[in-house]
Structure 1
Amino acid sequence: MNAIGKILPIDGYNVVMDEQPPIDFNASLTHLYQPLIGIQAISLYYTLFYEVDHTQQIQTHHTLMTYLNLTLDDIYRARIKLEAIGLLKTYKRREDNRDYYTYSVQRPYSPNQFFREAMLSQLLLHHIGEQKYNELYTRYVKESYLYGEEVTADFNEVFDTIIPSAPAALNVENNNQDTESEWMDFSWIEQSLRQRFIPVEKVLHAANKKLIYQMKTLYDTESVEIEKALLWALDEDNQLNQEEFKSACHDMFVSRNNGQAIRLNEKVTADPQTSMKKPGTKEEQLIQELETISPKQLLEDLSDGNHASEQDIKVVREVMTKQGLPSPVMNVLIHYVLLQSNMKLSKAYMETIAGHWSRVGLKTAKDAMNFAKQEQEKYKAAKNKPRKTNNYNNNYKKEVVPDWFNNRKKKSSKSNTDTNVSEKEQQEIEAKLQKYLNES
């Protein structure tokens, strides 16, 4: 992560906090958050936290450098870790040729809430190991089964509103739901469940959608692998066993990365000038589109916005599942097959190419497009290559005179008195032989 020059010592800042932290937030920060983001980020959090009510005046970042004994680059890296983990929100404004930041300190999860968050708890498990994880879990999480089965009435079960008014009609559970699941396309999973006559609403409710999105983000998992893990974790009543689902996603990650453990690492970003460069050519724009769009959306775009047919979706899903192609590569394959087949999605043709691409190990849309171009050029070169003609007759244009004729000619020329054949007859014989050879 490039942190040079992101903030300056003279840049001002002030700190706010909207919600008070839970009573046991110190335990969360020390034992649960710190293994994930490190001591410098936690130190910055504590420093900002205790500055909330200390002063409302604008301070410079030089103050933070003094408090923490860190460089500005280290402070910036610690800050973005707090932002990424959900402990800090940052706002920036510019006044009088100076940058001013407002740091909104966020309420950390309590230990019990932390372990209920699938993504954070899985990350902690990978960072500190199963034994230490179980110790912390036993220490901080109080099992709720001692209270018995929860029978709390839902808002919609008790009240009814005739005229929709303020968002008071929303139940607490919906208010607390994150919008993360809305960022993921669940259409492929829905289609797969319907094909197997599994009730979609029973599997893809809000809590499960959030879990699926978190596991996909955590393990950088393709939609095909998420679908396999989901089907694996369904019990006989079509209920999703969340622990089995998390284990299946983890096993797929380990298998895909040759047993490498998952860790939180800072992303390596490219040079700012390079990363800000927009795709120039139409081909670059197409590659960027194929990298980000879903195969279903691509089919609809190529159909002028109409819904993709059930048959086309089924063909794409089966090929994608069987060959394990990433979405960007699958998009290139769809685009290529439609262009080669007069906009018809031929399953047999697609399966043939998909098998080849899968064996080659293509991962990105750019790789797939370059490989398709190379194969197309090879095909054209082979098609335009001139065929070898049979030069049998040309090789035998030279006349071959048999030995018996040469011997006979020598004998006749040696002595005309030894033969009864006249010179005229000799010429006639030679002419007939020459005619025969020419006809042959």
Structure 2
Amino acid sequence: MNMSEQWRNVDPQSEFVLVANDDISDLQRTSLDVLYQPIIGVLAYALVNNFWRMAQERDPHKVHSHFELLSYLNVDVKSFYEARIKLEAAGLLKTLVKNSGEDRVYAYQLINPLDTHSFFADDLLSVSLLQIIGEDRYLDIFQEFAKEPFDVSDYKNISKNFLEVFNIKQSEIAKTPTVVNKVKDNVNRVKSFETGTKDTVNDDFDFNLLLDMLSQSFVNVADVKKSVDLINAEHELYGIDEIQMSKLIEKATNVTNNVFDPRKFKVIVSRQFKENHASLQETADARGNESQTSASESSLSNVEKQLVKSTQEYSPVEFLNYLKKAKGGYVRSAEERILAEVVERGILNAEVINMITYHLLVDQDKSGLNKSLFDAIADNWSQQHISNSSEAIEYIKKRKSDKIKPKRNYSRRYNGQANVKETLPDWAKDGYDNSKNEKQVDETKKKELQERIKKLKNRRKEG
């Protein structure tokens, strides 16, 4: 089932229980109100607050019905589902389900919000907040929570340690009592359930090379190592290579104490791309040369092969930027967020994401990216296990071929809001007639776009 249709799996009559292992603290509440709300939106914010209220009732594991919840929030099932998955994505909720006969029973595991300091240290959350509220407001909020550190370098620490004050048997230190181990295991189990780890390995970015370069500078490499997730995410989104990354990290490092500031780094990267995109040098040439040619590429036309090469050579934001420039437009912040969210999910390669962008802006002649449509296509291609742009083109051709079969109706909506067909791109159609569809880009415009992209790419290589 398409991702945009998965809300239909939720039966309003189905039941759920709430699980909360801890109460929410005042500091976590502040973080939820000020930092999380702009990201998750008003309805998701209302939903998670209602969940926390219900979890604090006398019988916290009481069985509830979704109908009861929908009535209280005055929303339909689709709106509830969209709010719920936002909470899941933000790390505020885990949804579990089990089948009980013909019925499904849900368990909603509430996860405490990060405190303000941990939130700003989290790469995905802080970058998302920055993109939504803007640099000025982002820095204002941080200053509200930041506390000026007190310099204690002239003081001497005379504090006592635990064993100097409290008496405890040496035998119990050497061999931890069974009851303590049991409790500790239970705590670790709860923690492992609440938190998850994600794969942050990036095959086309040499983090060790970056560290080697930084070790020759004034930057504290140990600080940089703590931000590997952030650095990989910024590389994937903007196509920043190791050399440029080292320069940006140096700009975000305090020359007085050599401390790397991740928050300043995010702002610098975002600002530099918007103000001077040309300063971020092309790095995808190597990536394109190293990438393997798929078996399906041999069946592509020369124009299609040129497109495949372009999708491999540019990062998602760079590719969008050049396409928008070729159309006489510019990249909007909302479009950057669309690409950032898809990149962060890690379900599609950069070249496949670029192919979706091309398909929308050139084939369908859209003026910009639409989140619902982009997500729907990304979800569909992910389910088809499309791993490169060559496979994407072949898949589009197959969709065109299957379209003539009575059983397969591909004029269905991607997202239920716009009657959009995923068809073969115009540049790959045989006998394409522009007069049959006024919304399609004419051949002259398509060739012009291809030429402008090629010139821009050559200009970058010369620079």
For residues 97 and 211 of structure 2, the distance between their equivalents in structure 1, rounded to whole angstroms, comes to 45
**Which whole-Å deviations, capped at 9, do the CAs of 1:62-118 have from their partners, x for residues lacking one?**
111111111111111001111111111111111111111111111012234323434
Contact 2:210 2:246 in 1 (8 A): no
For residues 357 and 19 of structure 1, the distance between their equivalents in structure 2, rounded to whole angstroms, comes to 57
Q: Which amino acid aligns with 2:248?
A: W
Q: Which amino acid aligns with 1:250?
A: S
Which of 113, 116, 123 matches 1:111?
116
Name the structure 1 match of 2:347.
none
Name the structure 1 match of 2:209.
191
Look at both structures and tell me which one has the larger radius of gyration over its CA atoms.
Answer: 1
Contact 1:119 1:218 in 2 (8 A): no
Name the structure 1 match of 2:384.
277
Name the structure 2 match of 1:36.
39
Contact 1:9 1:61 in 2 (8 A): yes
SS, match of residue 104 in structure 1? strand
Query: How far did 1:151 drift?
Result: 10
SS, match of residue 106 in structure 2? strand
Contact 2:35 2:129 in 1 (8 A): yes
Q: How does 1:84-163 map to 2 (within 5 A)?
A: 84-146=89-151
Name the structure 2 match of 1:6.
9
Query: How far did 1:192 drift?
Result: 5.1
Query: How far did 1:22 drift?
Result: 2.1
Query: How far did 1:137 drift?
Result: 2.5
For residues 40 and 61 of structure 1, the distance between their equivalents in structure 2, rounded to whole angstroms, comes to 16
For residues 210 and 245 of structure 1, the distance between their equivalents in structure 2, rounded to whole angstroms, comes to 13
Q: How does 1:279-318 map to 2 (within 5 A)?
A: 284=391
TM-score, length of structure 2 as denominator length: 0.48
> Aligned pair in 2 of structure 1 residues 87, 149: CA closer, same or farther (>3 Å)?
farther
Q: How does 1:404-419 map to 2 (within 5 A)?
A: none
Query: How far did 1:126 drift?
Result: 3.1
Which of 271, 274, 277 matches 1:251?
271
Name the structure 1 match of 2:454.
359
Contact 2:92 2:112 in 1 (8 A): yes
Query: How far did 1:42 drift?
Result: 0.6
TM-score, length of structure 1 as denominator length: 0.50
Q: Which amino acid aligns with 1:359?
A: K
Contact 1:22 1:109 in 2 (8 A): no
SS, match of residue 73 in structure 1? helix
For residues 151 and 118 of structure 1, the distance between their equivalents in structure 2, rounded to whole angstroms, comes to 35
Q: Which amino acid aligns with 2:454?
A: R
Give RMSD over aligned pairs: 4.7
Which of 85, 88, 91 matches 1:83?
88
**Which whole-Å deviations, capped at 9, do the CAs of 1:302-343 have from their partners, x for residues lacking one?**
xxxxxxxxxxxxxxxxxxxxxxxxxxxxxxxxxxxxxxxxxx
SS, match of residue 50 in structure 1? helix
SS, match of residue 80 in structure 2? helix
For residues 99 and 38 of structure 1, the distance between their equivalents in structure 2, rounded to whole angstroms, comes to 28
**Which whole-Å deviations, capped at 9, do the CAs of 1:387-407 have from their partners, x for residues lacking one?**
xxxxxxxxxxxxxxxxxxxxx
Contact 1:49 1:105 in 2 (8 A): yes
SS, match of residue 89 in structure 1? strand
For residues 380 and 263 of structure 2, the distance between their equivalents in structure 1, rounded to whole angstroms, comes to 44
Q: Which amino acid aligns with 1:260?
A: R
Q: Which amino acid aligns with 1:88?
A: L
Contact 1:13 1:58 in 2 (8 A): yes
For residues 131 and 241 of structure 2, the distance between their equivalents in structure 1, rounded to whole angstroms, comes to 20
> Aligned pair in 2 of structure 1 residues 43, 284: CA closer, same or farther (>3 Å)?
same
Contact 2:93 2:108 in 1 (8 A): yes
For residues 92 and 123 of structure 2, the distance between their equivalents in structure 1, rounded to whole angstroms, comes to 17
Name the structure 1 match of 2:229.
213
Query: How far did 1:182 drift?
Result: 4.3
**Which whole-Å deviations, capped at 9, do the CAs of 1:161-220 have from their partners, x for residues lacking one?**
xx9x99x9xxxxxx99984474334862323554x58369x8664x53452423543674
SS, match of residue 13 in structure 1? strand
**May I ask how many residue pairs the two structures share in their alignment?**
275
> Aligned pair in 2 of structure 1 residues 110, 239: CA closer, same or farther (>3 Å)?
closer
For residues 107 and 41 of structure 1, the distance between their equivalents in structure 2, rounded to whole angstroms, comes to 15
Q: Which amino acid aligns with 2:100?
A: E
Q: Establish whether residue 232 from structure 1 lines up as the match of residue 248 from structure 2.
A: yes
Contact 1:37 1:81 in 2 (8 A): yes
Contact 1:198 1:238 in 2 (8 A): no
> Aligned pair in 2 of structure 1 residues 26, 232: CA closer, same or farther (>3 Å)?
closer
Name the structure 2 match of 1:25.
28
For residues 84 and 62 of structure 1, the distance between their equivalents in structure 2, rounded to whole angstroms, comes to 23
Contact 1:12 1:61 in 2 (8 A): yes
Name the structure 2 match of 1:63.
68
For residues 87 and 37 of structure 2, the distance between their equivalents in structure 1, rounded to whole angstroms, comes to 10
Query: How far did 1:358 drift?
Result: 8.5
> Aligned pair in 2 of structure 1 residues 198, 133: CA closer, same or farther (>3 Å)?
closer
For residues 123 and 66 of structure 1, the distance between their equivalents in structure 2, rounded to whole angstroms, comes to 31
Name the structure 2 match of 1:260.
332
For residues 6 and 360 of structure 1, the distance between their equivalents in structure 2, rounded to whole angstroms, comes to 49
Query: How far did 1:275 drift?
Result: 4.8
> Aligned pair in 2 of structure 1 residues 192, 41: CA closer, same or farther (>3 Å)?
closer
Contact 2:209 2:242 in 1 (8 A): no
SS, match of residue 266 in structure 2? helix
Contact 1:212 1:226 in 2 (8 A): no
Contact 2:12 2:65 in 1 (8 A): yes
Q: Which amino acid aligns with 2:64?
A: Q
> Aligned pair in 2 of structure 1 residues 180, 146: CA closer, same or farther (>3 Å)?
farther
Q: Report % sequence identity.
A: 22
For residues 106 and 116 of structure 1, the distance between their equivalents in structure 2, rounded to whole angstroms, comes to 18
Name the structure 1 match of 2:359.
none
SS, match of residue 44 in structure 1? helix
Contact 1:32 1:124 in 2 (8 A): yes
SS, match of residue 8 in structure 1? coil
